[in-house]
Amino acid sequence: MEHKIVLIPGDGIGPEIVREAKKVLDGVCEKYGHTFQYEEALIGGASIDTYGVPLTDETIAAANSADAVLMGSVGGDAATSPWYQLEPSKRPEAGLLKIRKELNLFANLRPAYLYSQLREACPLRPDIIETGFDLLIMRELTGGLYFGERKTYEENGVWTAVDTLVYNEQEIRRIAVKGFEIARKRQKKVTSVDKANVLDSSRLWRKVVEEVAADYPDVKLEHMLVDNCAMQLVRDPGQFDVVLTENMFGDILSDEASMITGSIGMLSSASLNETKFGLYEPSHGSAPDIAGQDKANPIATILSAAMMLRYSLDLDQEADAVEQAVQKVLSQGYRTVDIMSEGCTCVGTRKMGELILKNL
């Protein structure tokens, strides 16, 4: 099969992790007889350096013409990078938010799974992770605090900043439907996370989620307050299947969920709209402190490429093969530095990519 894929390496460790993921995709093509046509595009700081803006119409057009986008990471060191001298709407992250909005990628899937091989790297006590965990954060990605009106102003010599958290019922309904649909294919449980004891937006969220749940009697729904959820994730992560939540809560909880898998370098993600198209990226950031040093863990990006094969290209068998190759390499004891534990072999970014390719 022939497919068009846009690669957006981005900033920091982005180029090196995307390079390894492409290597694995090339291996998939060779093994299964597919042709992927690639086009490279810029985003974030890389785009600012070339075009003066963090996202161009050309990058959006390229993404729109493709079956899927595989992205690295966006952003730099805010304390030292000149990108952060620009006004907020021209900084690298604004490009990421814009591409999510322009492509209507409202559903962000972030699976967090405990590999048996990485138990040693998990910061939780062995008795807590005895039965493992396999959860998926379904994060709303194009609404809430990220996209509400914001301003900073001075009044009578006092500076004030405002961010607005807005959701309408349609935005809540479509992400809830995605959450229940995917729960149906998993353990049939949705934990809807909100702050309904304080926020109006959360009270509407809860009401709409309950309406949607009525269409899925086979899926169990529970509601959980976000502060409790943050606590439950480290107390008993095995209780979760699909965690359905709004944009900001999902951002925070997904970092927490990734860390309990052993490292933030393990967590893949898919951002989807109503069609088969998707943008795939690791959930971690651009780690400018280790960029270009062959230290970054490429596994989250390689697993994101596997999600791309599965969700946008309908290549389930190929996706399984990539995921199994990752497992095999971990079983063989190879680790990047972030997931390193005693008795294992520490390898760099490039070597990890090669090993996964070899085990396809």
Residue 237 interacts, among Mg ion, ligand IPM, none and using kind-specific CB cut-offs from 5 to 8 Å, with none
Q: Kindly state the number of chain residues that form the binding site for Mg ion, as judged by CB under 5 A.
A: 1
Position 140 contacts ligand IPM (CB under 6 A)? no
Position 323 contacts ligand IPM (CB under 6 A)? no
Let me know: does 269 contact 303? Beta carbons within 8 Å.
no
The answer for residues whose C-beta is within 8 angstroms of residue 39's C-beta and 6 or more apart is 4, 5, 6, 7, 62, 66
Torsion, Cα 48 108 141 85, to 10 degrees, reads -20
Secondary structure (3-state) at 356: helix
Q: Which is nearer to ligand IPM, 8 or 74 (CB)?
A: 74
Q: Kindly state the number of chain residues that form the binding site for ligand IPM, as judged by CB under 6 A.
A: 7
159 sits in which H/E element: strand 158-163
- The residue length of the chain stands at 360
Could you say which of 11, 16, 93, 338 contacts ligand IPM (CB under 6 A)?
93
The burial of 256, by beta-carbon neighbours within 10 Å (0-12 exposed, 13-18 middle, 19 or more buried), is given as middle
Q: Which is nearer to ligand IPM, 96 or 300 (CB)?
A: 96
Position 75 contacts ligand IPM (CB under 6 A)? yes
As given in the structure block, the two tokens for residue 282 are 């690791």
Site string for Mg ion, 232-261 (x = CB under 5 A): -------------------x----------
Among residues 22, 178, 195, 295, the one annotated as catalytic is 195
Residue 96 interacts, among Mg ion, ligand IPM, none and using kind-specific CB cut-offs from 5 to 8 Å, with ligand IPM
Q: Which is nearer to Mg ion, 241 or 251 (CB)?
A: 251
10 sits in which H/E element: strand 2-10
38 is catalytic: no
As given in the structure block, the two tokens for residue 177 are 């439907």
127 is catalytic: no
294 is catalytic: no
255 is catalytic: yes
51 is catalytic: no
Among residues 115, 146, 167, 334, the one annotated as catalytic is 146
Q: Which is nearer to ligand IPM, 74 or 122 (CB)?
A: 74
Residue 15 interacts, among ligand IPM, Mg ion, none and using kind-specific CB cut-offs from 5 to 8 Å, with none
Among residues 26, 163, 200, 227, the one annotated as catalytic is 227
8 sits in which H/E element: strand 2-10
Position 96 contacts ligand IPM (CB under 6 A)? yes
To 5 degrees, how large is the angle CA 141–CA 147–CA 150? 155
Residue 319 interacts, among Mg ion, ligand IPM, none and using kind-specific CB cut-offs from 5 to 8 Å, with none
The answer for residues whose C-beta is within 8 angstroms of residue 106's C-beta and 6 or more apart is 140, 141, 142, 143, 171, 174, 175, 272, 273
- Contact set with Mg ion (CB under 5 A): 251
Active-site positions?
146, 195, 227, 251, 255
- Contact set with ligand IPM (CB under 6 A): 74-75, 93, 96, 251, 283, 285
